[in-house]
Amino acid sequence: MLAIVPALDEADTIAEVVRSAAAHVDSVVVIDDGSTDGTADLAREAGASCVSHERNLGVGAAIATGLRHALDLGADAAVQVDGDGQHVASSIPVLLAALHSGADLVVGTRFEQGFEMSFVRRTALRFFSAAVSRHVGHHVSDPTSGFRAFGPKAMEKLAPIFPTAYLADTIEVLYLAAESGLIVRTVPVDMIARSGGRPYAGPTKSVVYAARMLLLTIKHFRLRPR
Ligand SMILES: Nc1nc2c(ncn2[C@@H]2O[C@H](COP(=O)(O)OP(=O)(O)OP(=O)(O)O)[C@@H](O)[C@H]2O)c(=O)[nH]1
Ligand SMILES: [Mg+2]
């Protein structure tokens, strides 16, 4: 069992993320994407192995690298945990338990805990939640959550096709999972607000990539498994 931690300039939080995840998995790999604040060294000092991309490839590419790494190690499961400290490690066993109950890919959802967000973001997420839920045949209330667990079949099927663009790395991958015959399930998890570093996407990037994701949603709708 492996934790995959995508990280870009998360020096404030990475050591604690590695240590807290390590209590629930066999090993932790941090996928560093050109951090300039010492994230990679801090991750190693905290006990993680660290893979660094030569240039910034984004979160999706980092997860793909992590899944390939997990397959190479022969890991039976991989948990995706953000490096900014938002994903509370004590929820890792909850994600893994859902894998053991028969799911191939488990999405940790935060809305059950009443997570705060803006009206526009909430509305867009409602739309994508409805589209993803229909596609995977299970209600996914929080399709952009990056707190997830992958079983062996999900690692194998998704590692070669993991989308790299922002939002596609969380939403489109669920369409691809359903089209690959994977069972997608959700469990409520604990998440907290960012305590340091900077968010990956600002408002402009979010709007542009949400529009792109809308087009991809139409494309995948035609491929929906029946
Ligand atoms: N490997 C890699 N990791 C990244 C990259 N950009 C962001 N990350 C990491 O991916 C995780 C998620 O990014 P965040 O910016 O926290 O995204 P978010 O949680 O949707 O947004 P906030 O709620 O604002 O934190 C964090 O651990 C980041 O350090 C990147 O280009 N490459
Ligand atoms: Mg975050």
Residue 115 has a pLDDT of: 61
The whole domain housing 164 covers: 2-221
| 226 lies in some domain | no
The DSSP string of 70-110 is HHHHT-S-EEE--TTS-B-GGGHHHHHHHHHTT-SEEEEE-
The closest ligand to the CA of 86 turns out to be: 2
Ion ligand 2: protein residues whose beta carbon lies under 5 Å? 82, 84, 86
**Ligand 1 centre distance from Cα of residue 144 (Å):** 12
Rounded to 5, what percent of the chain is helix, strand, coil? Answer: 45, 15, 40
Closest atom, ligand 1, to C-alpha of 39: 29
From ligand 1's centre to the CA of 106, what distance in Å? 19
Q: Is residue 92 part of a domain?
A: yes
**Please, are residues 21 and 81 in contact by the beta-carbon 8 Å criterion?**
yes
| Residue 123 CA to ligand 1 centre (angstroms) | 22
Nearest ligand 1 atom to alpha carbon 144: 20
User: Does residue 117 carry a pLDDT above 80?
Assistant: no
Q: What is the overall mean pLDDT for the chain?
A: 93
60 CB near ligand 1 (under 6 Å)? no
Residue 63 confidence (pLDDT) above 70: yes
Distance CA(25)–CA(3), nearest Å, equals 7
Atom of ligand 1 nearest to the CA of 7: 29
- In sequence order, the 6+-apart residues with CB closer than 8 A to the CB of 199 are none
How are beta strands 2-7 and 105-109 bridged, if at all?
unpaired
pLDDT of residue 223: 79
CATH of the domain at 32: 3.90.550.10
Buried b (16+ CB within 10 A) or exposed e, 96-106: bebbeeebbbb
| Residues 164-220 pLDDT 10s | 999 999 999 999 999 999 999 999 999 987 766 677 777 888 889 999 999 999 999
Q: Quick check: helix, strand or coil at residue 169? A: helix
Ligand 1 atom 11: residue of nearest CA? 82
State the pLDDT confidence band at 120, using cuts at 50, 70 and 90: confident
pLDDT at 195: 67
Q: Rounded to the nearest whole angstrom, what is the distance from the C-alpha of residue 135 to the centroid of ligand 2?
A: 26
The per-residue pLDDT for range 71-109, each reduced to its tens digit, is 999 999 999 999 999 999 999 999 999 999 999 999 999
Which helix (H) or strand (E) segment is 52 a member of? strand 49-52
Q: How does pLDDT run across 122-135, given as a tens digit for each residue?
A: 889 999 999 999 99
Higher pLDDT, 59 or 110: 59
pTM of the model: 0.94
Q: How confident is the model at residue 196, as a pLDDT?
A: 65
The whole-angstrom separation of Cα 198 and Cα 29 is 21
Number of domains in the chain: 1
Please identify, by atom number, the ligand 1 atom nearest to the C-alpha of residue 56.
31
pLDDT at 225 over 90: no
Contacts of 119 by beta carbon, 8 Å cutoff, 6+ apart: none
Does any domain span residue 170?
yes
